[in-house]
Amino acid sequence: MKNDKQDGMQQVEDAKKTFLSGENFYTHHFLGAHQVEEGYVFRVWAPNALSVFLVGDFNAWQNDLPMEKDDASGIWQIYTDLANEGDLYKFKVMQANGREILKIDPFAVRFEKRPGDAAELYQFPEKKWKDGLWRGRSKRSNHFKRPMNIYEIHASSWKQHEDGTPYSLADLTEELIPYLVEMNYTHVEFMPLMEHPLGRSWGYQLIGYFALSSYYGTPAQFQDFVEACHLNNIGVFVDWVPGHYCINDDTLPYYDGTPQFEYIDPDRAKNNRWGSINFDLGKPQVQSFLISSAMFWIEMFHIDGIRVDAVSSMIYRDYDDGPWTPNHEGGNRNLEGYYFLQKLNAVVKLAHPNVLMIAEESSSETPVTGLIESGSLGFDFKWNMGWMNDVLRFYEMDPIYRKDHFNLITFSFMYMMQENFILPLSHDEVVHGKKSLMHKMWGDRYKQFAQLRNLYTYLMVHPGKKLLFMGSEWGQFLEWKFDEGLEWVDLNEPLNHSMQSFTAELNDFYKNQPALWELEDSYDTIEIIDADNTEESVLTFMRKGKRKKDFLIVILNMTPIERRDFTIGVPYPGKYKEIWNTEMQKFGGTWTKHNEACQSEPFEFKEYSQVIKTTVPALGVIILKPESINTRKR
């Protein structure tokens, strides 16, 4: 027993040292509250505090449990046998200036329901995971050469009960997962699930980096949700915010009365744009804290990926609206943030190479995806914000002007392989007066639906992984409201119902066409047939798979004019069959049958020696596939 105790003490001392050096990626194993023997040990990092008391339900929130400080690490500790699971607690910190304040436990794994923010003693139940087949398949899979179609969701506003209370994770397990399967999505991505006190922040201003928000349910329920997703072949991503945190005084800011988690420079510490506080990403203890948080979510919940929010704000000093100072090299690069992100990705990928790291980053000045050794930040994927902004601007435009702005939908072909991209039609585009995707579309209601089908098809056929925000799949007209459920009543309308069916069938089409993802990390995946037909505003290109005969011909008509006897070049002589048409009656269009198969004819069209003629519906997209061709001639 003596040796066991000595070993335990040595492990704690080693943990403290690596925490201070920024190399402890499991800090949550010793900081915070942990059950030992017949009680709990509590530890908190507050190096410049004058005193710290443990207060909670177990001592009537009185100052009778003083904690002891280890001066070398700045970590305060106490053991008590008074505490029991379910008790609420905080730390009463006398800060460096003598001010006394109740502070949260930064390493708490559960908090009371808001508006309260006391930590709750919680033990994860022993779970025997049943998702081994999914995880084994994921380890063997090349994510860059597999379909990825993500349904983005805000957990508490997907659906709500009749009394206005949000669905819990248990409810989502019962209803959301079958819906994801029915709609043929491959992944679900949650906006932040970590503890946050203000619903209006959508979860992007956190206080609990190791705690599932009690607003959504228990950690055990989220474990069960992820497991059920995996058993239904659905991957799970979670948004995470390591750049900045909630400004509430009783949470992380100036924890011991001095800049602790934040920068010393007040201009760098304050995030003016979002009214929050920026982490000092160069501080070793902060690096240990944040990387431990990422590892906690990956390992405790088996999530398949982390989407890192607001990367630009972490790598550029001038990203915010307030004053800024250049770095020591005279530039705007936030070197601390840059190297932290490289370190984060290196640590995660070494321990969990199959877990995907995704960046929400809006600039083009810094390589984001790829090998760290090449100067990249080391992410697996990056959201293509430029594609999203250009494409939505184009689809909002009156078609009469589209011929003059055709580059908005073709420019992305110039840079599409510079990063590993996800094409997002995300929550950011359907709030704050920007209107829903449906409402953005030009024209009357029929034309809006036609263009929405056109847009979603373009999303699927353009190189890059896919993401669509909840409610957009059926064309919800109202903007998203974070505190209300989606307008499911829309599905009583035939056009909305047809739109939902269209999205489900399109998602299935995407999964079953290897040409849309098999060579996606290479320019070999695409061949432009005609991107210069601005006068008619029709774009044509091919998507190609590994086999020579495995390709699709995509024709997008961006005007409300039907194009009859439309001629395009094709690579081989033979017959081409229409396999997709956005204007079919079952989708809400007017076409009752597909175009007849096209037999090519010898004729020069750009560099092609064969052409086909077909009809392209107004504001529609058709996709053709070779039925019988001669690949020896081109």
Parallel, antiparallel, or unpaired for β 39-45 and 75-80?
Answer: antiparallel
Query: What is the structure's pLDDT at 322?
Result: 86
Domain, as residue range, for 95: 2-120
Cβ atoms of 531 and 410 within 8 Å: the answer is yes
CA separation for the pair 54, 44 (Å, rounded)? 10
Task: Please check whether residue 273 lies inside any domain of the structure.
Answer: no
Q: What is the 3-state secondary structure (H, E, C) of 149-178?
A: EEEEECCCCCCECCCCCECCHHHHHHHHHH
CA separation for the pair 185, 2 (Å, rounded)? 55
CA separation for the pair 486, 159 (Å, rounded)? 6
Asked if residue 585 and residue 464 are part of one domain, the reply reads no
Cβ atoms of 200 and 248 within 8 Å: the answer is no
Task: Please check whether residue 274 lies inside any domain of the structure.
Answer: no
- For 393, list phi and psi in degrees, rounded to 5: -60, -40
Tell me if residue 37 is catalytic. no
Mean pLDDT of 291-320: 97
- Report the length, in residues, of the chain: 634
Parallel, antiparallel, or unpaired for β 598-599 and 574-581?
Answer: antiparallel
Asked if residue 528 and residue 488 are part of one domain, the reply reads no
- The answer on pLDDT for 204 being more than 90 is yes
CA separation for the pair 382, 369 (Å, rounded)? 7
Asked if residue 455 and residue 308 are part of one domain, the reply reads yes
- The answer on pLDDT for 38 being more than 70 is yes
CA separation for the pair 254, 232 (Å, rounded)? 44
Q: What is the dihedral of CA 444, 447, 448, 453, to 10 degrees?
A: 170
Cβ atoms of 147 and 461 within 8 Å: the answer is no
* CATH code: domain of residue 532: 2.60.40.1180
Sequence letter at residue 138: S
* CATH code: domain of residue 86: 2.60.40.10
Cβ atoms of 44 and 52 within 8 Å: the answer is yes
Task: Please check whether residue 138 lies inside any domain of the structure.
Answer: no
Query: What pLDDT, in 10s, does the model give residues 569-622?
Result: 999 999 999 999 999 999 999 999 999 999 999 999 999 999 999 999 999 999
Asked if residue 595 and residue 528 are part of one domain, the reply reads yes
Mean pLDDT of 496-521: 97
Asked if residue 387 and residue 435 are part of one domain, the reply reads yes
CA separation for the pair 485, 488 (Å, rounded)? 8
Q: Which one of the listed residues 227, 360, 361, 578 is annotated catalytic?
A: 360
Task: Please check whether residue 131 lies inside any domain of the structure.
Answer: no
Q: In the listed set 467, 498, 516, which residue is the last one of a domain according to the structure? A: 516
Query: What is the structure's pLDDT at 52?
Result: 98
Query: What is the structure's pLDDT at 1?
Result: 47
Asked if residue 294 and residue 425 are part of one domain, the reply reads yes
Q: In the listed set 487, 516, 545, which residue is the last one of a domain according to the structure? A: 516
Q: What is residue 17's three-state secondary structure?
A: helix
pTM, entire model? 0.96
Query: What pLDDT, in 10s, does the model give residues 538-569?
Result: 999 999 999 999 999 999 999 999 999 999 99
Task: Please check whether residue 133 lies inside any domain of the structure.
Answer: no
Asked if residue 492 and residue 395 are part of one domain, the reply reads yes
Count of the separate structural domains present in the chain: 3
User: What percentage of the chain reaches a pLDDT higher than 70?
Assistant: 98
Task: Please check whether residue 318 lies inside any domain of the structure.
Answer: yes
Task: Please check whether residue 90 lies inside any domain of the structure.
Answer: yes
For 112, which DSSP code? P
CA separation for the pair 482, 202 (Å, rounded)? 7
Q: In the listed set 516, 548, 563, which residue is the last one of a domain according to the structure? A: 516
Query: What pLDDT, in 10s, does the model give residues 61-101?
Result: 999 999 999 999 999 999 999 999 999 999 999 999 999 99
Asked if residue 185 and residue 102 are part of one domain, the reply reads no
Query: What pLDDT, in 10s, does the model give residues 430-470?
Result: 999 999 999 999 999 999 999 999 999 999 999 999 999 99
Asked if residue 536 and residue 466 are part of one domain, the reply reads no
Tell me if residue 100 is catalytic. no
624 strand-pairing partners: 553, 578
Parallel, antiparallel, or unpaired for β 149-153 and 208-212?
Answer: unpaired
At residue 634 the predicted structure's pLDDT band, cuts being 50, 70 and 90, is low
Place of tokens 């019988």: 628
Cβ atoms of 139 and 200 within 8 Å: the answer is no
- The answer on pLDDT for 633 being more than 80 is no
CA separation for the pair 179, 460 (Å, rounded)? 20
The encoded tokens of residue 105 equal 């436990």
Give per-residue burial for 401-432: e unless 16+ CB within 10 Å, then b. Answer: ebeeebebbbebbeebbebbbbbbbbbbbbbe
Provide the strand spans (E) within 436-590: 465-469, 526-530, 538-544, 551-557, 563-570, 574-581
Asked if residue 405 and residue 465 are part of one domain, the reply reads yes
CA separation for the pair 485, 482 (Å, rounded)? 8
Place of tokens 């709030």: 431
Query: What pLDDT, in 10s, does the model give residues 238-296?
Result: 999 999 999 999 999 999 999 999 999 999 999 999 999 999 999 999 999 999 999 99
Mean pLDDT of the chain: 95
Asked if residue 87 and residue 171 are part of one domain, the reply reads no
Q: Which one of the listed residues 87, 309, 390, 578 is annotated catalytic?
A: 309
CA distances from 308 to 357, 358, 371 (A): 7, 6, 17
CA separation for the pair 420, 520 (Å, rounded)? 9
Q: What is the dihedral of CA 484, 485, 491, 495, to 10 degrees?
A: 50
- The answer on pLDDT for 7 being more than 60 is no
Task: Please check whether residue 92 lies inside any domain of the structure.
Answer: yes
Alpha helices in 34-141 (DSSP H): 132-140
Sequence letter at residue 464: G
* CATH code: domain of residue 444: 3.20.20.80
- For 580, list phi and psi in degrees, rounded to 5: -150, 135
- For 499, list phi and psi in degrees, rounded to 5: -65, -40
Cβ atoms of 514 and 546 within 8 Å: the answer is yes
Sequence letter at residue 80: T
List of residues 6+ apart from 203 with CB closer than 8 A: 154, 191, 192, 193, 194, 196, 213, 239, 241
- The answer on pLDDT for 5 being more than 70 is no
CA separation for the pair 218, 465 (Å, rounded)? 31
Query: What is the structure's pLDDT at 9?
Result: 75
Asked if residue 598 and residue 556 are part of one domain, the reply reads yes
CA distances from 324 to 267, 327, 335, 550 (A): 7, 10, 14, 53
Provide the strand spans (E) within 88-224: 88-94, 100-103, 119-120, 149-153, 187-190, 194-195, 208-212
Query: What pLDDT, in 10s, does the model give residues 121-164?
Result: 999 999 999 999 999 999 888 999 999 999 999 999 999 999 98
